[in-house]
């Protein structure tokens, strides 16, 4: 970097001395004025400037309004990281409607559920992706979907769905169905239709569905202002330089790609380099070709990048920064990343969709030990933060059973409070009331806030169970068994038991050559754990048999069902 971290942060603070709440589209218009001819979206096939994205978003918004889209409605997006995603996202904001970027790996039943639960009135969809045929799915979910203004009924698919617009990314479309070019042409016939659509910074701009790792996906409603504050906090904490370029393949239906990539670069007139899928070599090629300065990844991606020798064939000299999140990673990985890829600013973070995205980050100037042992401290957000503070959010811990606040430094359920917290879960008032209490968001994550403000994550409160009347923390058992050479993956869960009320079960994926038995596992736990923590049952599974969400997270509640069924089968 040509300037220091401190000077880069100071430049951002000076640019935003007072926070001005804006809608997403209004912020795009500000950026188009400031950075009009700068690249905003860069791919191998096309580059879009800030001005071009703004202009395209207006045409598309005018087309959507002509179809009847407006405030209070919800527009779904089944879109991978194609450049078209960006103007579409801002176009929906211009109409005053709520954008719902759906997980495009959903299967038919999952897609049908979220389309109905979200009360989506308009869907913009790819024709297909990664072997999935969305047009065929829609034939089953919403027969007659290609007819504009279709009248849904309770017995005929999602009853609110009126329009489906196809992005023919694989060359396929349908007769009668409108495509993106048709939507833009409709906008040209109705210029200015979206210009006066009422919407405000504190209105709901996005609804993002949780992964469903602990139950059915929930639609998290967040405001325009909330995601922009979170994005500014990222730019400030990570000390973005003018014109930063961030490459990522993480999907924009998730806060990671959307906020940490797309929205955050706007604060320095930077660009995103989105990719539709990950491979280490694709990342290297993109860095070299487009001179990326920053990448977003998760630990498995980082491991793939350091383990391949393909990097030796690429010029990665532009790369100086990486944000790696979603799971902890060992310090050796970051030391290797720094040494082999020449990256000097390595950070990790923590957050959840309900918070408005990542709320904590390690700082680029932090020692790598903090990147491996913590998930960072609250983002600094300057004028965008909690009133009277420089931080984006406040954290505290509470007793996971009673909800009572715990003394500073004690382990408990992490709760947070700040200006980016969700409005609530769509259509789920009872679950909203459980998550939001007295202005605090209850995360379901267990951890502690250290004296230096950094957070340590220790597990999930929903995964705690009682054995012999004592509370058991699954992560302690998982960490013990995961350290064995013959264990590839392990998950500790609680199962209902007629005698004990609840008993522990270790679900284990052994390594390929392992000869592990239930007796081995229980004996090993007895050597290292208090008696009440020792699992009474062990279930061995292949990795392919683990129940997962579309994004690959293991669903522990389904593991409980699986293990319960397996146990009952042995009792017959």
Q: What is the mean pLDDT of each run of 10 residues along the chain (572 residues)?
A: 85 96 98 98 98 98 97 96 98 98 88 94 96 94 89 64 95 92 97 94 95 71 98 98 97 94 98 96 97 92 89 95 83 90 93 92 95 94 95 94 90 95 96 94 91 87 69 84 90 78 88 90 90 90 82 78 80 52
CATH of residue 547's domain is: 3.30.300.30
Which class for 302: exposed (0-12), middle (13-18), buried (19 or more C-beta within 10 A)? buried
Cα→Cα distances 359→152, 232, 353, Å: 40, 11, 10
The answer on 187 and 244 residing in a single domain is no
Q: Which domain, by its residues, includes 260?
A: 220-461
The answer on 473 and 359 residing in a single domain is no
Backbone angles phi, psi at 405, to 5 degrees: -60, 145
C-alpha span between 223 and 202 (Å, rounded)? 5
Question: Which one of 430, 461, 492 terminates a domain?
Answer: 461
Q: Is residue 36 part of a domain?
A: no
Sign of CA dihedral 94, 97, 98, 103: negative
Q: Is residue 204 part of a domain?
A: no
Whole-number pLDDT of residue 211: 66
Whole-number pLDDT of residue 393: 97
Whole-number pLDDT of residue 401: 81
The answer on 195 and 329 residing in a single domain is no
Q: Is residue 559 part of a domain?
A: yes
Backbone angles phi, psi at 415, to 5 degrees: -125, 150
C-alpha span between 150 and 164 (Å, rounded)? 9
If DSSP codes are grouped into helix, strand and coil, which group holds residue 383? helix
Whole-number pLDDT of residue 551: 59
The alpha carbon of residue 369 and the mean position of all alpha carbons in its chain are separated, in whole angstroms, by: 25
Whole-number pLDDT of residue 153: 46
C-alpha closest to that of 258 among 36, 24, 550: 24
Q: What is the tally of structural domains in the chain?
A: 3
CATH of residue 184's domain is: 3.40.50.980
Percent helix / strand / coil, the chain, rounded to 5: 35, 25, 40
Backbone angles phi, psi at 163, to 5 degrees: -135, 140
Whole-number pLDDT of residue 2: 53
The answer on 511 and 368 residing in a single domain is no
Q: Say what the pTM is.
A: 0.84
Whole-number pLDDT of residue 329: 77
Helix (H) or strand (E) holding 457: strand 455-460
Whole-number pLDDT of residue 212: 56
Q: Write down how long the chain is.
A: 572
Q: Are 77 and 89 in contact (CB under 8 A)?
A: yes
The answer on 313 and 175 residing in a single domain is no
Q: Is residue 7 part of a domain?
A: no
If DSSP codes are grouped into helix, strand and coil, which group holds residue 466? strand
Question: Which one of 461, 482, 498 terminates a domain?
Answer: 461
Question: Which one of 199, 228, 244 terminates a domain?
Answer: 199
C-alpha span between 218 and 186 (Å, rounded)? 33
The answer on 410 and 540 residing in a single domain is no
The answer on 394 and 262 residing in a single domain is yes
The answer on 447 and 300 residing in a single domain is yes
C-alpha closest to that of 90 among 48, 145, 120, 150: 48
Sign of CA dihedral 239, 243, 249, 254: positive
């Amino acid at each position: 970097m040509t300037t220091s971290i401190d000077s880069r942060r100071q430049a951002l603070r000076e640019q935003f001395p007072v926070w001005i709440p804006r809608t997403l589209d209004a912020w795009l218009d500000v950026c188009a004025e400031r950075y009009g001819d700068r690249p905003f979206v860069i791919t191998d096939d096309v580059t879009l400037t800030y001005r071009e994205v703004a202009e395209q978003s207006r045409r598309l918004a005018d087309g959507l309004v002509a179809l009847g889209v407006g405030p209070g409605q919800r527009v779904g997006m089944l879109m991978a990281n194609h450049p078209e995603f960006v103007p579409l996202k801002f176009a929906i904001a211009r109409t005053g409607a709520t954008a719902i970027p759906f997980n495009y790996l959903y299967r038919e039943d999952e897609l049908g559920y979220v389309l109905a639960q979200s009360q989506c009135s308009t869907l913009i969809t790819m024709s297909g992706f990664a072997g999935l045929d969305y047009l065929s799915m829609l034939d089953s979910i919403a027969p007659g979907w290609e007819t504009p203004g279709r009248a849904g009924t309770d017995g005929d698919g999602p009853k609110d769905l009126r329009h489906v617009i196809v992005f023919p990314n694989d060359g396929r479309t349908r007769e009668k169905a409108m495509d993106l070019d048709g939507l833009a042409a409709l906008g040209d016939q109705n210029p200015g239709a979206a210009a006066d659509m009422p919407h405000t910074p504190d209105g709901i701009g996005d609804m993002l569905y949780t992964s469903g790792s602990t139950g059915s996906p929930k639609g998290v409603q967040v405001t325009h202002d909330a995601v922009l504050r979170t994005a500014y906090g990222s730019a400030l904490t990570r000390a973005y330089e003018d014109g930063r370029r961030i490459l990522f393949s993480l999907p924009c239906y998730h806060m990671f790609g959307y906020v940490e990539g797309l929205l955050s670069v706007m604060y320095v007139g930077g660009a995103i380099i989105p990719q539709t899928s990950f491979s280490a070599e694709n990342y290297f090629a993109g860095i070299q070709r487009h001179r990326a300065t920053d990448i977003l990844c998760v630990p498995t991606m980082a491991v793939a990048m350091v383990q391949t020798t393909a990097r030796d064939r690429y010029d990665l000299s532009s790369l100086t920064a990486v944000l790696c999140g979603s799971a902890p990673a060992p310090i050796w990985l970051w030391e290797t990343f720094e040494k082999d890829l020449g990256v000097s600013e390595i950070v990790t973070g923590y957050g959840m969709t309900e918070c408005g995205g990542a709320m904590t980050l390690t700082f680029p100037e932090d020692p790598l030990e903090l990147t491996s042992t913590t998930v960072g401290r609250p983002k600094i957000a300057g004028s965008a933060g909690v009133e009277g503070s420089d931080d984006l959010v406040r954290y505290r811990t509470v007793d996971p059973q009673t909800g009572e606040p715990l003394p500073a430094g004690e382990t408990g359920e992490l709760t947070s409070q700040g200006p980016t917290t969700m409005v609530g879960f769509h259509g789920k008032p009872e679950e909203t009331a459980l998550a939001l209490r007295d202005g605090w968001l209850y995360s379901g994550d267990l951890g502690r806030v250290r004296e230096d403000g950094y957070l340590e994550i220790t597990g999930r409160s929903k995964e705690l169970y009682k054995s012999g009347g004592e509370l058991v923390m699954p992560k302690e058992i998982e960490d013990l068994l995961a350290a064995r050479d013959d264990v590839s993956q392990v998950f500790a869960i609680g199962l209902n038991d007629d005698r004990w009320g609840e008993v522990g079960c270790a679900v284990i994926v052994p390594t390929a050559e392992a000869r592990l038995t239930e007796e081995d596992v229980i004996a090993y736990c007895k050597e290292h754990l208090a008696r009440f923590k020792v699992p009474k049952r062990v279930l061995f599974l292949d990795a392919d048999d683990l129940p997962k969400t579309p994004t690959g997270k293991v669903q522990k509640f389904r593991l409980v069902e699986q293990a319960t069924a397996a146990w009952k089968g042995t009792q017959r």
